[in-house]
Homo-oligomer: A and B are copies of this chain.
């Protein structure tokens, strides 16, 4: 059994880790870390775990935790892990970080968008961006995993094949994303009250959301080119789910039949099939079907739908995930599975809950 410690177990992502790991046959949580609730029963904070989890929350002592566990998940605010991580800890345990601390390779970009100094620059190079469908082999050998953000996971994977294959002009990429409210976390803030969120939709962080450079960096690696995108997140009155609607201009390319033209839907679909046909968690929907967040809720699936807007020469790519699963805790467990040589979907085969 893999011994697991969680820092920040009482946030939404942390609690989702607990839920998923409860059903994992090869892992066992031995440390429920929670700064706010240390000493209280975990199941008194999340009563869904009543008579399921008997353990109390403990303090967030990362050093001590590292000695007792094989892997640490940090579901913590930005800046926490980088301020406390050390070679000593990494020698004791693998670390999978759900925060943004090690996602960006360019530390100046991190410091600009997050507005804080990075305290562990020396580890940025080593950290592996844990997007398994892209970086699977590197992940297997890593000690420190930067678990991708929720919006970024959905946004990157939805566009990845066309960016990688050079079929779209990346400078035309526009991502209009919509998220359920659990993405905002469990902090007690007026804008997240039921009456403020319910019966409304709003954009936020327009042109300034911190997942923007993360998407740009990773897609930049894919096409070998730096570029800027427009990324606009919106808050939707639902608990879970992210939907990313992505627009990009198709490039004229040499097609398999030798002609030079903008690729049609059939060809685009064949490219997605090539990239994702064997991926367990990525489901490219049948032609004409678009993703809906309800069909992935509670699961680690990413659903993708595709359309070509011929009148405009654009492709419209739509992706849907559960932000707490494929966008956070599920992907983190997927990373753990790779780190420990388990089949990638161990403990992650739960069917989406509907309705």
CA gap between A237 and B197 in the complex, in Å? 11
Contact B230 A309 (CB under 8 A): yes
Q: Judge whether B316 and A206 touch: CB under 8 Å.
A: yes
For the complex formed, measure the closest distance between the CB of A349 and the CB atoms of chain B, giving whole angstroms: 8
Asked if A314 CB lies within 8 Å of chain B CBs, one says yes
Q: Which residues of B contact A247 (CB under 8 A)?
A: 174, 176, 230, 247
| CB neighbors of B among A339-355 (8 A) | 349-355
CB pair A196–B355 under 8 Å, yes or no, is yes
Q: Which of B202, B232, B296 meets A291, CB within 8 Å?
A: B202
Among the listed B22, B195, B312, which residue makes an inter-chain contact with A182, where contact means beta carbons less than 8 Å apart? B195
* CB proximity to B under 8 Å, residues A237-283: 237-241, 243, 245, 247, 283
Residue of B nearest to A174 (CB): B247
A99 within 8 A of B: no
A116 CB within 8 Å of chain B: no
- Kindly identify which residue among B49, B293, B312 contacts A351, using a CB–CB cutoff of 8 Å: B49
Contacts of A186 in B (CB 8 A): 190, 193, 195
Residue A294 is within 8 A (CB to CB) of chain B in the complex: yes
Pair A50/B200 contact, Cβ less than 8 Å: no
Q: Any chain B CB within 8 A of the CB of A292?
A: yes
Asked if A46 is an interface residue, CB under 8 A from chain B, the answer is yes
Q: For A310, what are the chain B residues with a Cβ–Cβ distance below 8 Å?
A: 207
Q: Determine the distance from Cα of A5 to Cα of B352 in the docked complex, in whole angstroms.
A: 21
B243 and A202 form a contact (CB under 8 A): yes
